[in-house]
C-alpha cells in the first residue's frame, strides 16, 4: 500500500478523524497493511477494550496500556471479564490502578468482580472515582468473584445495568448516583421480598430517571404488595420515557400495575413500553392517555398451541372498545416475541396460522408500524408476504436467522412478493443466534423507478449497533 507523503504528514488528530468511522476490523486491517498508520491506528483500536482473565497474553495487553498513557487515555469503553481459573490469592489478574490514566472512560462493564481483597477493591474504587470523572455507564454481571458487600460507590453515573441474581448489592452505587441517574436496568429475573435489596430500591427516588427496566419477576411473597410498590415507584418518576415490566414469565408470575393507582394523566412522558398483554390491557382499561402516544412497543406473547391466547385477544378488544376517541396506537417500532422453538421438527400449519392471526391483529391495533422485530417460524416467499401484508408503512423487518431457512441462494425471488405488498420495505435483517460468533445478515432491497424490486444487496456484520442509526431502529427494540 503506497502512501503519498502529504497525507502521511497530516497531524495525528486529522488522521484519527479520517479513520474514526471505520469498524474495529477495518481499522485493524489498515494498521496491518500500512505500518505508517500504526500509531494513529492503535489509538483507535484501544478506544473499546475487552479484557478476559483467561485470555492468552492478556498480561501483555495490560502491561502495554499501563506503560503507554497515550493509549490508556483513549479508552472510552472497557469490559473486564473475570473467569476461572483465578490467580493465586493476593495476585489479581489485573492491577487495581489499571484505569489511572483512563480519564476519558465513559462506560465500564464488569462480568464478575476482578478483585477479592478489600485493599485492591478500595484502590479500584478510588481510581474510578478520582481519575475516571467522565464515567457515566456502569454494568455488572455476576461472576466467579462476588461484588463487594460495602464501600464500592460511584457518584455521577447516568446509566446502571445490573444482571439480576441472588447477588444484588447495588444500593451503594444507586444511592451515590441517585441525583444523576437517567437509566436504570435490571436484566434477567428478580426476586422481590420484604426487607431484601430490591425492596429497598423501590423506596428510593431518582429525580432525573428517563428509562426504567424492572427485570422479570420470578418470585415474591406478596404479589399484590409488589404490584402496588412498583406502581407507586413508577408514578413517583413521571418523567419516565421508556418503561419495561419484564421480558420473561415464570409460573405465570409477572409485574403488573396496581390498577387503582392509575389515572388518565399517569406516565405522561411515556414514549416506549415493554411488557405483557395484561399490562397493555390495564393501561387501556384505565384510559391512560400516554398509551395512545407511545412510538415503541415490545410485547411478549404466550403462543403455545395449548394456550388459548385469551389475554392477547382480550388486550386487542380492550384497546379497541374503550370509551376513548383513539382506537389505535401510534406505535412505529414494534417488537413481538412469539413462543417459537426452532427444532428439527417442522411446525404445523396451525402454528403458522396462529402467528398470522396475531400479526394481522397487531397491524390493526398499530397501523403505523415502520420497523418490526419479531420471532417467526421458517416461511416460504408466499407465507412471508402474507405475514406482513397488512403493514403498509413497514420499512425494516428483523427476524432470527432460523426464520430464513427456506430462503434460496438468490433472494430476489423470495422478497419479490413482500416487496410488492409492502411498498416502503427497504431492509430485512436476519439476526444471528445469541451467544454465538456468527454474523448478522442484512438484506437491502433495491427498487426501480416504479418501486419494483430489481435487486437485493446482501452484507454481513458482527456489530449490528453500527447499523441501528441507519435503520432508524431504537436500540432497546433490537436485541435477541
Which pLDDT score is estimated for 305? 41
User: 229: which residues sit within 8 A by CB, 6+ positions away?
Assistant: 192, 199, 202
With contact defined as beta carbons under 8 Å apart, do 443 and 415 qualify?
Answer: yes
Whether pLDDT at 475 is above 60: no
Record the cell numbers describing residue 128, joined without a space: 474510578
Which pLDDT score is estimated for 436? 80
Which pLDDT score is estimated for 416? 96
User: 195: which residues sit within 8 A by CB, 6+ positions away?
Assistant: none
Whether pLDDT at 387 is above 70: yes
Which pLDDT score is estimated for 308? 53
Query: Between residues 152 and 339, which one has the greater pLDDT?
Result: 152
Average of per-residue pLDDT across 67-90: 87
Give residue-wise pLDDT tens across range 7-59. 566 676 676 676 666 666 677 677 777 766 767 777 778 888 999 999 888 99
Strand partners, 446: 455
Average of per-residue pLDDT across 184-210: 87
Which pLDDT score is estimated for 461? 85
Question: Phi and psi for 213 in degrees, rounded to 5?
Answer: -115, 110
What's the CA gap between 288 and 284, in Å, rounded? 6
Q: For residue 167, what pLDDT band results from cuts at 50, 70 and 90?
A: low
Q: For residue 472, what pLDDT band results from cuts at 50, 70 and 90?
A: low
Whether pLDDT at 90 is above 70: no
Q: For residue 345, what pLDDT band results from cuts at 50, 70 and 90?
A: low
Whether pLDDT at 166 is above 60: no
With contact defined as beta carbons under 8 Å apart, do 431 and 397 qualify?
Answer: no
- On average, the pLDDT of the chain sits at 86
Record the cell numbers describing residue 426, joined without a space: 427497504
Average of per-residue pLDDT across 57-63: 92
Whether pLDDT at 471 is above 60: no
What's the CA gap between 220 and 224, in Å, rounded? 9
Stretch among 235-239, 368-372, 376-380, 435-439 having the lowest mean pLDDT: 435-439
Global pTM exceeds 0.85: yes
Give residue-wise pLDDT tens across range 169-179. 777 888 899 99
Which pLDDT score is estimated for 49? 93
Whether pLDDT at 304 is above 80: no
Residue 338 CB coordination number (10 Å): 19
Which pLDDT score is estimated for 3? 52
The H or E element that residue 79 is part of is strand 77-81
Whether pLDDT at 413 is above 50: yes
Query: Between residues 399 and 90, which one has the greater pLDDT?
Result: 399
**What letter does residue 338 receive in the DSSP assignment?**
-
Which pLDDT score is estimated for 127? 97
Record the cell numbers describing residue 59, joined without a space: 498480561
Which pLDDT score is estimated for 394? 97
Whether pLDDT at 5 is above 70: no
Query: Between residues 205 and 345, which one has the greater pLDDT?
Result: 205
| Strand-strand pairing, 440-447 and 427-431 | antiparallel
Whether pLDDT at 478 is above 60: no
Amino acid at each position: 500500500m503506497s502512501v503519498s507523503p502529504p497525507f502521511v504528514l497530516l497531524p495525528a488528530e486529522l488522521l484519527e478523524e479520517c479513520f474514526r468511522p471505520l469498524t474495529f476490523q477495518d481499522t485493524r486491517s489498515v494498521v496491518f497493511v500500512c505500518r505508517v498508520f500504526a500509531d494513529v491506528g492503535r489509538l483507535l483500536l484501544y478506544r473499546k477494550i475487552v479484557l478476559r482473565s483467561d485470555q492468552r497474553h492478556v498480561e501483555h495487553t495490560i502491561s502495554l496500556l499501563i506503560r503507554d498513557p497515550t493509549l490508556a487515555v483513549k479508552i472510552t469503553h472497557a469490559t473486564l471479564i473475570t473467569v476461572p481459573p483465578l490467580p493465586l490469592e493476593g495476585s489479581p489478574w489485573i492491577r487495581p490502578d489499571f484505569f489511572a490514566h483512563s480519564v476519558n472512560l465513559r462506560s465500564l462493564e464488569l462480568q464478575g468482580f476482578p478483585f477479592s481483597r478489600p485493599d485492591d477493591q478500595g484502590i479500584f474504587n478510588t481510581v474510578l472515582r478520582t481519575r475516571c470523572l467522565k464515567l457515566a455507564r456502569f454494568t455488572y454481571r455476576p461472576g466467579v468473584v462476588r461484588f463487594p458487600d460495602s464501600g464500592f460507590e460511584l457518584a455521577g453515573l447516568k446509566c446502571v445495568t445490573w444482571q439480576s441474581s441472588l447477588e444484588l448489592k447495588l444500593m451503594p452505587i444507586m444511592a451515590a448516583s441517585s441525583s444523576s441517574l437517567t437509566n436504570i436496568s435490571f436484566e434477567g429475573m428478580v426476586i422481590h421480598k420484604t426487607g431484601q435489596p430490591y425492596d429497598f430500591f423501590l423506596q428510593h427516588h431518582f429525580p432525573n430517571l428517563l428509562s426504567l427496566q424492572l427485570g422479570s419477576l420470578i418470585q415474591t411473597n406478596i404479589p399484590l404488595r409488589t404490584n402496588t410498590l412498583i406502581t407507586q415507584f413508577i408514578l413517583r418518576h413521571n418523567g419516565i420515557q421508556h418503561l419495561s415490566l419484564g421480558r420473561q414469565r415464570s409460573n405465570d408470575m409477572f409485574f403488573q400495575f396496581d390498577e387503582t393507582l392509575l389515572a388518565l394523566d399517569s406516565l405522561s412522558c411515556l414514549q416506549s413500553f415493554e411488557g405483557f398483554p395484561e399490562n397493555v390491557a390495564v393501561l387501556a382499561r384505565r384510559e391512560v392517555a400516554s398509551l395512545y402516544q407511545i412510538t415503541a412497543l415490545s410485547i411478549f406473547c404466550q403462543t403455545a398451541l395449548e394456550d388459548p391466547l385469551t389475554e392477547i385477544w382480550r388486550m386487542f378488544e380492550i384497546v379497541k372498545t374503550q370509551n376513548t376517541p383513539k382506537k389505535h396506537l401510534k406505535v412505529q417500532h414494534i417488537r413481538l416475541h412469539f413462543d417459537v422453538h426452532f427444532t428439527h421438527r417442522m411446525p404445523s400449519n396451525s402454528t403458522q396460522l396462529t402467528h398470522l392471526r396475531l400479526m394481522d391483529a397487531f397491524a390493526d391495533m398499530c397501523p403505523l408500524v415502520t420497523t418490526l422485530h419479531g420471532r417467526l417460524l421458517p416461511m416460504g416467499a408466499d407465507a412471508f408476504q402474507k405475514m406482513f401484508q397488512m403493514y403498509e408503512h413497514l420499512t425494516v423487518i428483523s427476524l432470527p436467522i432460523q426464520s430464513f431457512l427456506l430462503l434460496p441462494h438468490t433472494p430476489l425471488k423470495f422478497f419479490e412478493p413482500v416487496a410488492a405488498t409492502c411498498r416502503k420495505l427497504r431492509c430485512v435483517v436476519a439476526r444471528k443466534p445469541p451467544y454465538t460468533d456468527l454474523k448478522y445478515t442484512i438484506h437491502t432491497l433495491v427498487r426501480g423507478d416504479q418501486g419494483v424490486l430489481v435487486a437485493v444487496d446482501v452484507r454481513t456484520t458482527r456489530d449490528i449497533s453500527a447499523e441501528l442509526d441507519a435503520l432508524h431502529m431504537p436500540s432497546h427494540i433490537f436485541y435477541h
